[in-house]
């Protein structure tokens, strides 16, 4: 019996064994996922085939990116089905067609900016677009900045610095925008999402989150957000319940509408999460969750051998919205 997560209008059925890959293939650490205008799912992962494309039923369509990407991290898709692929191992953002042709590269491949210099990029993490097509990049592990670029990749401005005050960051891990141009930043190790206007002015923040990692905005002028929260990363709170990993659904003011999973910690059972790192929704409202279980396994289960399923079937989950 498939697990059911959530309650009320936000109930989701876990689709077992969703991804159907060619024989011998596997997905390793699905860092991010995106859905195009035809409900094709783009799975950006750290395996031998970095971009795997599936249909809504999980059937394999094609792959690309072999030899191009160093370490998949973020993926965003625009209204024209162009993909913005953030490679934190290569310190670049590449804009690609749906077939994998590179149209634009921002950043210098394999040449990071100095650590915490504020200059782009040092292990950049994700992208989002303004209503005018300007490109926001969260930057990320070796910086504490958000950068804003023109659509053709020229730097407009940057904001942020290390710290815990408003407008400061401690691992700026993900970024999203809405139809009105507000910018939402998952400030992961500060346990919050910060909200800015399009020019980087701090407006507010959402708390009551645990290491917000994935961030997905949908719904047009009245947006709703799905936030992937990581579980504990320290030995002292590793076994504390109700800290995730989980998904939280919130409204445009950050009020929680629903929470999916996370009460009993990470796991491989249906309805549990390991490390929700990327989230996307299709036209039917179904949720796709990319997980970095291989990367996160040691911190979650330091005394357990990693099962083969973590490298194969368990790094991409589909949650089908219950419509009865």
Task: For residues 83-92, give the mean pLDDT.
Answer: 98
Q: What is the pTM of this model?
A: 0.97
pLDDT at residue 283 greater than cutoff 80: yes
Confidence of residue 320 (pLDDT cuts 50, 70, 90): very high
At 42 the pLDDT is 98
Confidence of residue 309 (pLDDT cuts 50, 70, 90): confident
At 41 the pLDDT is 98
CA 213/CA 178 separation, integer angstroms? 18
Number of domains in the chain: 1
Residue 146, judged by CB atoms within 10 A of its CB (0-12, 13-18, 19+), counts as buried
Q: Which residue has the higher pLDDT, 269 or 69?
A: 69
Q: pLDDT, tens digit, for every residue of 4-55?
A: 999 999 999 999 999 999 999 999 999 999 999 999 999 999 999 999 999 9
* DSSP three-state, residue 307: coil
Percent of the chain exceeding pLDDT 70 equals 99
* Phi, psi of 143, rounded to the nearest 5 degrees: -140, 175
- The parent domain of residue 270 ranges over 4-321
pLDDT at residue 312 greater than cutoff 80: no
At 292 the pLDDT is 95
CA 318/CA 2 separation, integer angstroms? 12
* DSSP three-state, residue 299: helix
Q: pLDDT, tens digit, for every residue of 143-188?
A: 999 999 999 999 999 999 999 999 999 999 999 999 999 999 999 9
Angle at 260 between CA 172 and CA 301, to 5 degrees: 70
CA 104/CA 214 separation, integer angstroms? 24
HEC string for 151-185: CCCCEEEEECCECCCCCCECCEEEEEECCCCCEEE
Separation in Å, CA 311 to CA 291, 292, 314: 10, 9, 7
At 300 the pLDDT is 87
> By the 8 A CB rule, do 125 and 85 touch?
no
pLDDT at residue 58 greater than cutoff 80: yes
Cα separation of the two ends of the chain: 17
> By the 8 A CB rule, do 43 and 59 touch?
no
Q: What is the CA radius of gyration of the chain?
A: 18
* Phi, psi of 169, rounded to the nearest 5 degrees: -135, 150
At 25 the pLDDT is 93
> By the 8 A CB rule, do 72 and 87 touch?
yes
124-129 and 102-106 strand pairing: unpaired
pLDDT at residue 316 greater than cutoff 90: yes
Q: pLDDT, tens digit, for every residue of 217-269?
A: 999 888 999 999 999 988 899 889 999 999 999 999 999 999 999 999 999 99
At 250 the pLDDT is 97
Q: What is the CATH number of the domain that holds 119?
A: 2.120.10.30
Q: What is the mean pLDDT of the chain?
A: 95
Confidence of residue 142 (pLDDT cuts 50, 70, 90): very high
* Phi, psi of 267, rounded to the nearest 5 degrees: 180, 170
Confidence of residue 307 (pLDDT cuts 50, 70, 90): confident
> By the 8 A CB rule, do 175 and 184 touch?
yes
CA 53/CA 280 separation, integer angstroms? 14
Within 10 angstroms of residue 304's Cβ, the number of other Cβ atoms is 9
CA 274/CA 262 separation, integer angstroms? 9
> By the 8 A CB rule, do 173 and 213 touch?
yes
At 53 the pLDDT is 98
At 233 the pLDDT is 85
CA 183/CA 171 separation, integer angstroms? 16
């Amino acid at each position: 019996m498939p697990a059911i997560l959530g309650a009320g209008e936000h109930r989701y059925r876990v689709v077992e064994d969703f991804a159907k890959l060619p024989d011998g293939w596997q997905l390793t650490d699905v860092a991010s996922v995106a859905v195009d205008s035809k409900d094709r799912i783009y799975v950006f992962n750290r395996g031998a085939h970095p971009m795997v494309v599936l249909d809504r039923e999980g059937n394999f369509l094609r792959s690309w990116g072999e030899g191009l990407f160093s370490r998949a991290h973020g993926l965003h898709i625009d209204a024209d089905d162009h993909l913005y692929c953030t490679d934190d191992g290569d310190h670049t953002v590449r804009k690609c067609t749906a077939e994998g042709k590179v149209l634009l590269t921002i950043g210098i491949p394999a040449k990071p900016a100095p650590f915490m210099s504020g200059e782009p990029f040092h292990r950049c993490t994700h992208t989002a677009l303004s209503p005018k097509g300007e490109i926001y990049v969260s930057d990320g592990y070796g910086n504490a900045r958000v950068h804003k670029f023109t659509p053709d990749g020229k730097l407009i401005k940057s904001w942020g610095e290390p710290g815990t005050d408003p407008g400061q960051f401690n691992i700026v891990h993900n970024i999203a925008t809405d139809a009105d141009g507000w910018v939402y930043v998952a400030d992961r190790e500060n346990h919050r999402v910060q909200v800015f206007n399009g020019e980087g002015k701090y407006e507010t923040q959402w708390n009551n989150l645990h290491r917000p990692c994935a961030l997905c905005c949908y719904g047009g002028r009245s947006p709703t957000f799905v936030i992937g929260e990581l579980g504990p990363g320290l030995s002292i709170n590793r076994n504390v319940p109700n800290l995730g990993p989980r998904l939280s659904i919130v409204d445009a003011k950050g009020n929680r509408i629903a929470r999916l999973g996370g009460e009993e910690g990470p796991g491989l059972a249906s309805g549990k999460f390991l490390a929700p790192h990327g989230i996307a929704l299709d036209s039917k409202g179904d949720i796709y969750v990319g997980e970095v279980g291989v990367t996160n396994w040691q911190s979650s289960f330091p005394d357990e051998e990693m099962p083969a399923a973590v490298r194969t079937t368990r790094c991409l989950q589909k949650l089908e919205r219950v419509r009865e």
